[in-house]
């Protein structure tokens, strides 16, 4: 009731003590993978490794060399099979020891080493413990799996895992991150608890999701393409509860007595997405929730139903459809907003056989659950602790991708403190970096469409902007911080649009379709998703020229905001979800160049695409922002459209081998979706001709390489596993060009955060040679590595 916190637990950010967990037996599983014997007790080993590192001896062929240009930075070539975590730990320790004078930043490069073994490494985040600041960047040296890997997927055996592995370290890291990011443990309890229904349901869902899995996997891979920065802390942070109360987890009582950590919005989504048609009547929603969350059945006040209704009406993402005959109303999730979150996704069984045993993991992996699977796959490497229990929803958080140019000049390592709001981060980065010659730049905000929020583009440090944050970052940069809360995001990514709705009557286009419902929203959505055709409704947005629009928008927004604030009316989906990190592609190179601050809408060209909403859990959770309107096309200011979808999209792009990104991929569906969302648009349209990421590059390099090559290029089109052929993944192609960008991890011990960063290692001229998407030859840059 009142006393209880209103916010769902989920939202809270958890911090994990990373290290510890591993130690716990769980990790054992993973460990096996590791080749040599490194590790085991995490700490012990870590220390061991550290020692080694210090001495310059590294376990398996690890080589450390001083970074050519960066002070206090060393490049560590790590065999694929090496245990990244340990290495990170060691490096961290080393950094600490070194003190400010010594090397405190490390760039990890995976050398092809022996891909033989599975990815094992999982960087856990021990970093957190260290106080000193150490940054580690992981890069894949050898063959980057990226696109190629993807291709490989199909192949038998080893490949699947390996691909990822190739990235090994990085990947592992990524995995971990992912896991932790989303973790929600609560369910864990539930699962065991008594949600029998859950299980059942899961299976059911599993069905649905299965096909998705594949796609997701792909997505993961793809996702890799973009770099996300997130603080490890977040990522690593474990879910609060789960581990903490393991014991409890199972108790049924808890499930019954404890309120689920999910917001009504999330639960509604779970419910709706649990059906094949992705639609559900109010009553069924109630039933589903009661069945899956006993708390509501037994403990909650009757008012919870009112709250459900309230949420349905309030959030634009929920669209009411009327059956053909008009007699029955079904609630659906706007495709563009739907992340297809399901309880399954959120939940992970703690243990295999027994509910809590670790082994369970495997089984889980097998599970259909798409997302889960995705993660799982990757996760294999992760610490068990992380894996188990619930699957965290994606953090919506802000993620920022930061492109960094590596070798060339000074590589800059961003500190990703996640905490920093994207916008800020961006601004900071941009400014600072710039000053320094920064190699890292933040992508300009793009924006486009979004309108939404418009918060001011500028970077202002705005708090408000949270949402914006995402936006702020540009494509390249998106960093994710996990803010906490939200798990949401995670969740499921929707594929863009799923076609769900359609069934009923008319809805092809959401907006229109739903007659009754929230037109406003719908429009906005439309706008967003579709081209900018102006829609009446949102008058404000209209489409103005971008530039103008921006300013105007801002104004408008404010106004709206105010209005909104006054009354909570429906929350519109915001197109851009701010929180979520999406990658935005700026289509326009020119724009990209701009300062981050503005993102010009220039993209307008493709603007629409971006848009998208944000939501999902993230989005949804966050809900739509009320005010935003979507004009999608509009230029919005700053906000880059980071929409969840974007993520998804991005994934396709895959990044090189590393997959840090926590992003989830779409579940599957690549299918039909409504891509209307931006993705398609983006990818297809504009992208074709335009390099997706111009911006990044530009950002990164003052000197533009050729636009054609995008940062993401690393994957070749072929590589991409694009989930769907049909789907828009054109991006990929465009991406193909760029190989220079890669993901990296930055470990900031000072902040105890580990972030992913995008590294631009391209050197003019070298790209082709080196970069095969797969490989970057660091050796060229760094002789020592040879």
Binding site for DNA (CB under 7 A): 1-2, 4-8, 11-12, 262-265, 281-283, 286, 300-301, 303-304, 306-307, 309-314, 320, 329, 331, 464, 467, 484, 486, 488, 516-518, 561, 564-571, 620-623, 625-626
CB of 104 to DNA, least distance (A): 30
CB of 671 to DNA, least distance (A): 27
Which one, 111 or 625, has the nearer CB to DNA? 625
CB of 1 to DNA, least distance (A): 6
Helix axes 282-292, 303-314, angle to 10 degrees: 120
Which one, 263 or 439, has the nearer CB to DNA? 263
Per-residue DSSP letters for 266-299? HHHHHHHHTSSSSEE-HHHHHHHHHHH-HIIIII
Per the DSSP assignment, residues forming a β-bridge with 63 are 77
CA distance 133 to 255: 41
Per-residue DSSP letters for 610-674? H-----TIIIIIH---SS----TTS--SS-----HHHHHHTGGG--SS--------B-S--SS--
Closest CA to 130 of 786, 773, 753, 770: 753
CB of 589 to DNA, least distance (A): 31
CB of 390 to DNA, least distance (A): 16
Q: Give the distance between the most distant pair of CA atoms in the chain.
A: 76
CB of 539 to DNA, least distance (A): 17
Query: What residues have CB less than 8 Å from 425, skipping those under 6 apart?
Result: 398, 400, 416, 417, 442, 469, 472, 473, 479
CB of 431 to DNA, least distance (A): 25
Which one, 76 or 629, has the nearer CB to DNA? 629
C-alpha distances (whole Å) from 783 to each of 65, 66, 67, 207 are: 9, 10, 10, 51
Per the DSSP assignment, residues forming a β-bridge with 65 are 75
Which one, 342 or 683, has the nearer CB to DNA? 342
Which one, 111 or 256, has the nearer CB to DNA? 256
Distance of alpha carbon 525 from its chain centroid, rounded? Answer: 22
C-alpha distances (whole Å) from 23 to each of 375, 392, 631 are: 21, 21, 50
If phi over 0 gives left and psi between -120 and 50 gives alpha, with beta otherwise, what is residue 389?
Answer: left
Closest CA to 292 of 342, 338, 332: 342
CA distance 364 to 43: 27
The strand order across the sheet containing 135-140 reads 63-66, 73-79, 105-111, 135-140
Closest CA to 414 of 755, 763, 760, 743: 755
Query: What residues have CB less than 8 Å from 696, skipping those under 6 apart?
Result: 401, 403, 443, 474, 475, 476, 477, 592, 710, 711, 712, 741, 758, 760
CB of 576 to DNA, least distance (A): 11
Strand 399-400 vs strand 478-480: parallel, antiparallel, or unpaired? antiparallel
CB of 135 to DNA, least distance (A): 27
CB of 580 to DNA, least distance (A): 12
In 10 A of CB 366, how many CB atoms?
13
Contact predicate 230/481, CB 8 Å: yes
CB of 663 to DNA, least distance (A): 19
CB of 779 to DNA, least distance (A): 46
CA distance 75 to 260: 45
Which one, 16 or 574, has the nearer CB to DNA? 574
Which one, 8 or 385, has the nearer CB to DNA? 8
Which one, 302 or 725, has the nearer CB to DNA? 302
Contact predicate 43/90, CB 8 Å: no
Strand 478-480 vs strand 229-230: parallel, antiparallel, or unpaired? parallel
Contact predicate 460/427, CB 8 Å: yes
Which one, 585 or 621, has the nearer CB to DNA? 621
Which one, 145 or 467, has the nearer CB to DNA? 467
CB of 468 to DNA, least distance (A): 10
CB of 388 to DNA, least distance (A): 24
Which one, 522 or 731, has the nearer CB to DNA? 522
CB of 393 to DNA, least distance (A): 11
Per-residue DSSP letters for 109-159? EEE---TTS--------GGGG--S--EEEEEE-S---HHHHHHHTTSSTTH
Which one, 303 or 726, has the nearer CB to DNA? 303
Which one, 207 or 568, has the nearer CB to DNA? 568
Contact predicate 489/394, CB 8 Å: yes
CB of 554 to DNA, least distance (A): 13
Which one, 625 or 741, has the nearer CB to DNA? 625
Which one, 449 or 487, has the nearer CB to DNA? 487
Which one, 56 or 555, has the nearer CB to DNA? 555
Q: Count CA atoms closer than 13 A to 759's CA, side-chain side.
A: 36
Which one, 262 or 270, has the nearer CB to DNA? 262
CB of 537 to DNA, least distance (A): 13
CB of 475 to DNA, least distance (A): 22
CA distance 131 to 580: 29
First-residue to last-residue Cα distance in the chain: 64
Which one, 408 or 639, has the nearer CB to DNA? 639
Strand 329-333 vs strand 73-79: parallel, antiparallel, or unpaired? unpaired
């Amino acid at each position: 009731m009142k006393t209880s916190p209103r916010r769902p637990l989920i939202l809270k950010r958890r911090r994990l003590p990373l290290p510890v967990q591993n130690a716990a037996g769980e990790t054992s599983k993973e460990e096996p993978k590791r080749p040599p014997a490194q590790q085991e007790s995490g700490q012990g080993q870590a220390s061991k490794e550290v020692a080694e590192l210090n001495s310059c001896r590294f376990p398996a062929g690890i080589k450390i060399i001083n970074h050519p240009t960066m002070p206090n930075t060393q490049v560590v070539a790590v065999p694929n099979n090496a245990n990244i975590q340990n290495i990170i730990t060691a490096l961290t320790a080393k950094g600490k020891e070194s003190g400010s004078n010594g090397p405190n930043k490390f760039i990890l490069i995976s050398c092809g080493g022996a891909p033989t073994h599975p990815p094992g490494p999982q960087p856990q985040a021990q970093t957190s413990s260290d106080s000193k600041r150490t940054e580690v960047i992981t890069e894949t040296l050898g063959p980057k799996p990226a696109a190629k890997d993807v291709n490989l997927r199909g192949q038998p055996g080893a490949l699947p895992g390996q691909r990822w592995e190739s990235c090994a370290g990085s990947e592992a890291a990524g995995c971990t991150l992912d896991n932790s990011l989303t973790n929600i443990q609560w369910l864990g309890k539930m699962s065991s608890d008594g949600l029998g229904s859950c299980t059942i349901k899961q299976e059911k869902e599993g069905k649905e999701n299965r096909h998705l899995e594949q796609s997701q996997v792909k997505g993961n891979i793809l996702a890799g393409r973009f770099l996300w920065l997130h603080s490890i802390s977040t990522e690593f942070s474990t879910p609060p509860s789960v581990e903490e109360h393991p014991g409890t987890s199972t108790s049924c009582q808890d499930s019954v007595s404890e309120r689920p950590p999910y917001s009504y919005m999330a639960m509604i989504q779970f419910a709706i997405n649990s059906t094949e048609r992705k639609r559900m009547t109010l009553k069924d929603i109630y039933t589903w929730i009661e069945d899956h969350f006993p708390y509501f059945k037994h403990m909650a006040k009757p008012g919870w139903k009112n709250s459900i209704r309230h949420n349905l009406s309030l959030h634009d993402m929920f669209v009411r459809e009327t059956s053909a005959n008009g007699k029955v109303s079904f609630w659906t999730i706007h495709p563009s907003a739907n992340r297809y979150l399901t309880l399954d996704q959120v939940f992970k069984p703690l243990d295999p056989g027994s509910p809590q045993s670790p082994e369970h993991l495997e089984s889980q992996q097998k599970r259909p659950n798409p997302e889960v699977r995705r993660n799982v796959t990757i996760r294999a490497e992760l610490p068990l602790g992380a894996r188990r229990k619930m699957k965290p929803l994606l953090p919506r958080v802000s993620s920022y991708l930061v492109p960094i140019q590596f070798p060339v000049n000074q590589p800059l390592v961003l500190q990703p403190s996640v905490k920093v709001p994207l916008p800020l981060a961006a601004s900071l980065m941009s400014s600072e970096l710039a000053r320094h010659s920064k190699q890292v730049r933040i992508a300009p905000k793009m924006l486009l469409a979004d309108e939404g929020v418009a918060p001011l583009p500028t970077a202002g440090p705005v708090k408000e902007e949270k949402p914006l944050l995402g936006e702020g970052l540009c494509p390249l940069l998106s960093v994710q911080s996990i803010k906490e809360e939200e798990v949401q995001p995670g969740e499921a990514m929707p594929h863009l649009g799923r076609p769900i709705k359609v069934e009923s009557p008319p809805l092809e286009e959401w907006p229109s379709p739903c007659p009754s419902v929230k037109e406003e929203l719908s429009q906005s959505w439309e706008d967003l998703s579709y081209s900018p055709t102006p829609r009446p409704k949102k008058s404000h947005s209209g489409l103005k020229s971008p530039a103008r629009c921006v300013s105007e928008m801002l104004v408008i927004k404010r106004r709206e905001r105010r209005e909104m604030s006054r009354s909570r009316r429906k929350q519109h989906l915001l197109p851009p979800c701010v929180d979520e990190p999406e990658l935005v592609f700026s289509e326009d190179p020119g724009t990209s160049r701009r300062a981050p601050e503005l993102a010009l809408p220039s993209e307008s060209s493709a603007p629409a695409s971006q848009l998208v909403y944000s939501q999902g859990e993230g989005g949804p959770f966050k809900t739509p922002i009320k005010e935003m309107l979507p004009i999608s096309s509009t230029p919005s200011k700053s906000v880059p459209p980071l929409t969840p979808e974007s993520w998804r999209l991005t994934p396709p792009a895959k990044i090189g081998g590393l997959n840090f990104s926590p992003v989830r991929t779409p579940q599957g569906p690549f299918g039909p979706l409504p891509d209307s969302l931006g993705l398609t648009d983006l990818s297809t349209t504009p992208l074709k001709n335009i390099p997706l990421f111009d911006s990044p590059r530009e950002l990164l390099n003052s000197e533009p390489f050729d636009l054609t090559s995008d940062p993401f290029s690393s994957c070749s089109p072929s590589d991409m596993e694009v989930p769907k052929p049909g789907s828009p993944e054109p991006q990929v192609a465009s991406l193909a060009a760029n190989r220079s960008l890669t993901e990296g991890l930055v470990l900031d011990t000072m902040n105890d955060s580990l972030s992913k960063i995008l590294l631009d290692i391209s050197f003019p001229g070298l790209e082709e040679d080196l970069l095969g998407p797969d490989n970057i030859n660091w050796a060229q840059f760094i002789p020592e590595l040879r």
